Amino acid sequence: MIVIRLDRMMADRKISLNDLSDQVGVSVVNLSNLKTGKVKAIRFSTLEKICEVLDCQPGDILEYEKG
């Protein structure tokens, strides 16, 4: 199972959902759904932009857990 740790990275970087949305160019609703794990897929271009804004690696946001 893939667990999304976007909330942790946002807290570490002290960035709000609204600010991240503005900088990434993705709606607050879509980022909120991603943050809460309600999505089944993410575009690499979106992941790349999130990593650029948060100055992190994809592995900092996505984590594999045996389910």
Q: What domain range includes position 42?
A: 2-64
Q: Which residue, chain included where needed, has tokens 């990593």? A: 51
Instruction: Say how many domains are in the chain.
Output: 1
Position 67 scores a pLDDT of: 77
* CATH code, domain carrying 7: 1.10.260.40
Q: Tell me how far apart the alpha carbons of residues 13 and 21 are, in angstroms, rounded to a whole number.
A: 14
Position 8 scores a pLDDT of: 95
Long-range Cβ contacts of 38-45 (<8 Å, 24+ apart): 39/4
Position 49 scores a pLDDT of: 98
| pLDDT tens string 1-60 | 999 999 999 999 999 999 999 999 999 999 999 999 899 999 999 999 999 999 999 999
